[in-house]
Amino acid sequence: MNTIDALLTRNSAPRLTTPIPTENQLEIAYKCALRAPDHAWIRPWKFIQISGKGLDKLSKAFVNTAKKLDKNVDPEILKKYKEAPYRAPLIIVLVADTKEHPKVPVIEQQLSTATAGQNLLLAFHEMGFGGIWRTGKFSFNKEISMELSLKENEIVIGYLYIGTVEGKTKRIPELNSKDFVITWE
Ligand SMILES: Cc1cc2nc3c(=O)[nH]c(=O)nc-3n(C[C@H](O)[C@H](O)[C@H](O)COP(=O)(O)O)c2cc1C
């Protein structure tokens, strides 16, 4: 698949199963992620790769965080959070490891981490795997950072759920670029 085809056909998939990418494929995907644009070469990227029993740990982290955020959380909702990590056999947590910098604000470093995430999705897509980017309650807060043993400056910006696509993928919407582009010439 060439780059343009990969970009045009990437399609989020919520139903994911095994197999997951091999060690070698993961290594290639991370190399792609590390080519994300990065103002001042800060390298603000960190990835937590979770599979197997790691998913149980993430499930516990979600439940603990939900309880911390709302001590009266509805048990049904708590059950949903507990089960959430098992929606894919592999999850990569996107963490922005940001630093104080005179020219590069934190938001730019988070954007760099987001582009690293997109590179991962595209690399996995090109290898024949599917994925979906999710955020929800367990992103952008200190409580989940603490549960994941992150440092003070590290923030979860999202979760890539990765695996082999189960069933049919959705139709890719046909959008007209003219609705999104303003041309000055
Ligand atoms: C920053 C970000 C956060 C997202 N969070 C969620 C989420 O929590 N749950 C969800 O179902 N989709 C979420 N999405 C949307 C999906 O990843 C996906 O983009 C959407 O289902 C449309 O599919 P497509 O990417 O194939 O166009 C998020 C997307 C982005 C960029």
pTM higher than the cut 0.85: yes
Whether residue 145 is contained in a domain is answered as yes
Rounded to the nearest angstrom, the distance between the alpha carbon of 14 and the centre of ligand 1 is 10
The closest of 92, 69, 99 to 81, measured between CA atoms, is 69
Task: Provide the 8-state DSSP code for 140.
Answer: S
Rounded to the nearest angstrom, the distance between the alpha carbon of 88 and the centre of ligand 1 is 15
Q: Which two tokens stand for residue 174?
A: 């046909």
CATH code, domain carrying 124: 3.40.109.10
Rounded to the nearest angstrom, the distance between the alpha carbon of 185 and the centre of ligand 1 is 34
For 63, 98, 153, the CA distances from 144, given in Å and listed in that order, are 10, 16, 13
Closest residue CA from atom 12 of ligand 1: 134
Whether residue 150 is contained in a domain is answered as yes
Q: Provide the sign of the torsion angle of the four alpha carbons 123, 35, 132, 58, taken in this order.
A: positive
Rounded to the nearest angstrom, the distance between the alpha carbon of 42 and the centre of ligand 1 is 26
Whether residue 83 is contained in a domain is answered as no
Q: What is the pLDDT of residue 174?
A: 96
Atom of ligand 1 nearest to the CA of 11: 26
Q: What range does the domain containing 102 cover?
A: 13-51+88-167
Q: What is the pLDDT of residue 1?
A: 86
Whether residue 73 is contained in a domain is answered as no
Whether residue 144 is contained in a domain is answered as yes
Give the model confidence (pLDDT) of 46-65 as tens digits.
999 999 999 999 999 999 99
Kindly report the number of other CB atoms within 10 A of residue 79's CB atom.
11
What element of type H or E holds 30?
Answer: helix 23-33
Give the number of domains in the chain. 1
Whether residue 2 is contained in a domain is answered as no
Give the model confidence (pLDDT) of 115-139 as tens digits.
999 999 999 999 999 999 999 999 9
Regions of the chain short of the pLDDT cut 50: none
Per DSSP, the three-state class of 171 is: coil
- Pocket (CB within 6 angstroms of ligand 1): 11-12, 132-136, 158
Contact between 134 and 80 (Cβ < 8 Å): no
How far is 66 from 82, CA to CA, in rounded Å? 10
Length of the chain measured in residues: 185
User: 37 Cβ partners below 8 Å, 6+ apart?
Assistant: 112, 115
Whether residue 180 is contained in a domain is answered as no
Q: What is the pLDDT of residue 9?
A: 97
Whether residue 129 is contained in a domain is answered as yes
